[in-house]
Amino acid sequence: MAADLLARAKGVYARTARHTGTLLSRVGVVGSEAPDRDHRVKHWMYSLSKVHDSLAIAQLGVPWWTYRAIDVIDAWLSARPRPIRVFEWGSGASTLWLASRADEIHSVEHHRGFGEMIGRELAKYPNVHFQIVEAVESATPQVPSHKEGHAGQDFAEYVSSIDRIGGDFDLIVIDGRAREACLTAALRHLAGDGIVVFDNTRRRRYHAAIAASGVHQRALSGLTPTLPYPDQTSIITTR
């Protein structure tokens, strides 16, 4: 019941945000095309018309992280010696954004419906290796997700997909399910001078998991494309 109410609320928000973004374009507050990301507020207002549409967000030239995090990670990738190897839990606009900035990207998605849609777009990029790894129904999940509506689902195979691919990664993105377990797995495969991008870290359970892991966290709060409220994306390092 709670999951249904949440889904309905998100649907109402998405429709309202898209209408607001379209209206802002019509009255000339923002243009008919995406402003440059440097014009942050205008870019954000324009993005409201693209809410919950990964392909449309990708066309804005941004992943779904805070703008401050996007700026920092973009600069880090530009300065990073090539080749750059990336692993990502949670596919979408960030995968498409990274495709033009890294040499090898492994992206794992838990949601089959969304994965089949975004997978058709990702197939255009030879450097992106994409797979769908769904949760398994279980009365006693080894790796549960605490997200509403995901009780009785085991994400062990999803989380351990990084182990099956193997090797070290320059950048690891945690933006899917069972993120606390993903962080533990990520640290086993992070290059010594690599970074982890952990999204939505204002959530208490994520904050607690990061604090318990003994890593260094740079929390980057502020505006996020398509969101009507500030959020937080963190950059995690082991040094």
Cα gap 18→35, rounded to integer Å: 17
Cα gap 98→197, rounded to integer Å: 12
Amino acid at 78: S
Residues 181 and 229 in one domain: yes
Residues 31 and 114 in one domain: no
Residues 25 and 132 in one domain: no
Residues 150 and 205 in one domain: yes
Residues 120 and 37 in one domain: no
Q: Using pLDDT thresholds of 50, 70 and 90, give the confidence band for residue 33.
A: confident
Q: Is residue 204 part of a domain?
A: yes
The predicted model scores a pTM of 0.88
By DSSP bridging, strand 169-174 and strand 153-154 are unpaired
| Chain segment 138-194, per-residue pLDDT in tens | 999 999 998 888 889 999 999 999 999 999 999 999 999 999 999 999 999 999 999
Quick one: which of 136, 137, 125 has its CA closest to 96? 125
Per the structure, how many domains does the chain have?
2
Residues 89 and 205 in one domain: yes
Cα gap 65→200, rounded to integer Å: 8
Cα gap 67→43, rounded to integer Å: 10
Total Cβ atoms within 10 A of residue 70: 23
Domain residues for the domain of 25 are 2-52
Cα gap 213→234, rounded to integer Å: 14
